[in-house]
Structure 1
Amino acid sequence: MGAVPPHLAERFAATELHRLLGLELLEARPGYARIALRTGPATLSGVGGAVHGGVLAAMVDIAMLFALQASLQPGDVPNGTADLGITYLRPVHGPRAEAEAHIIRKGRSLAYAEVAITDAQGSLCARGRTLYALRQAPPPG
């Protein structure tokens, strides 16, 4: 398992949604994050008892956000997800899923990320793409 900076681990753990979904932050470093989902009755409400597609989309957004947060520079101000797309390739069944996010490009006002979601066997189940808006903090004074 990779390292997670303490400030990101605390932020992740303090978010009620993460606990409700059964998410765990496994790794976070500049430009990269990996989260895991323990499936359960609340998440296995998709077709045929698979993980609900909305839960997978939330995983895309959350994994991207922590890869980005690990990449923020002084003056970068998070401004929210501007666009999120997901392609479902196969249903996620079983006890666990992981989302792995890579920041592909980060500029002054937008960051682009790609996210892969795999099941417990390591099979690719979904691919996500996000644009995240940033703004620059005004200069002090």
Structure 2
Amino acid sequence: MSEVDEFLPEIRQAVIDFMNRVPFNKLVGFTLTEITPDKVCLTLPMRPDLVGNFITGILHGGVISSMIDVAGGAMSLVGAFRNLEHLPLEERVLRLSKIGTIDLRIDYLRPGRGERFDVTATLLRAGNKVAVTRAEFFNDQGELCAVGTGTYLCG
């Protein structure tokens, strides 16, 4: 078993615990579908209360940006958690409890039409204090609807 394989259950559980304790994530309905050293994936089923344009029935842009932000934040946790693996688990969790978004840029490419939406975030850089992520947001037809870059305080 590689070092990454041994480390993944610990980091996976920490990210899941963090995500599940955020009331907003529960309210909107984000579900983590994958956590690896290279990516974090979330899914969200469409619901009538998430509509942003009642005439066309498309997903609200704020939900799109929130999903990209949450996926990027989770990915930055993965990177930061790995950077701090020399510390005891409790200290890592304490340090990472202060994670927050510094900057978020969203490019909306097409309307959020679909029955389900998925986002995949990857890590561009994980430093001692700041992580930068890139995320892609797809509808259930596999169409790229938005992309985002997030910068997160994580140290």
What TM-score range do you get, normalising by the shorter chain?
0.7 to 0.9
Aligned mate of 2:34, from 21, 27, 35: 27
CA contact (8 A) 1:31 1:104 kept: no
Across the aligned residues of Structure 1 and Structure 2, the Cα RMSD in angstroms comes to 2.0
> Could you list the per-position Cα deviations for residues 107-131 of structure 1 after superposition, in whole angstroms to 9, with x for gaps in the alignment?
1222111100000011100000111
Aligned mate of 1:61, from 65, 69, 74: 69
Q: 1:1-141, aligned counterparts within 5 Å?
A: 5-46=12-53, 48-71=56-79, 72=81, 73-74=83-84, 77-78=95-96, 79-135=99-155
> Could you list the per-position Cα deviations for residues 70-117 of structure 1 after superposition, in whole angstroms to 9, with x for gaps in the alignment?
222326634411100000000111210001000111112221111000
> Could you list the per-position Cα deviations for residues 25-58 of structure 1 after superposition, in whole angstroms to 9, with x for gaps in the alignment?
0011224100001110221223621110000110
Cα drift, residue 10 of structure 1 = 3.2
Aligned mates of 2:58, 2:25 — CA distance in 1: 19
CA contact (8 A) 1:21 1:42 kept: no
Aligned mates of 1:111, 1:11 — CA distance in 2: 17
Greater mean alpha carbon deviation, residues 29-38 or residues 57-66: 29-38
Aligned mates of 2:134, 2:146 — CA distance in 1: 11
The runs of at least 4 consecutive aligned structure 1 residues that moved more than 6 Å come to none
Consecutive unaligned residues of structure 1, counting only runs of 5 or more, are 136-141
Q: Which structure has greater helix proportion?
A: 2
Percent sequence identity is 28
CA contact (8 A) 1:98 1:119 kept: yes
**SS at 1:103's partner residue?**
strand
TM-score by length of 2: 0.77
CA contact (8 A) 1:32 1:68 kept: no
Aligned mates of 1:29, 1:80 — CA distance in 2: 21
Greater mean alpha carbon deviation, residues 70-79 or residues 20-29: 70-79
TM-score by length of 1: 0.84
Greater mean alpha carbon deviation, residues 105-114 or residues 6-15: 6-15
Consecutive unaligned residues of structure 2, counting only runs of 5 or more, are 1-8
Aligned mates of 2:138, 2:69 — CA distance in 1: 15
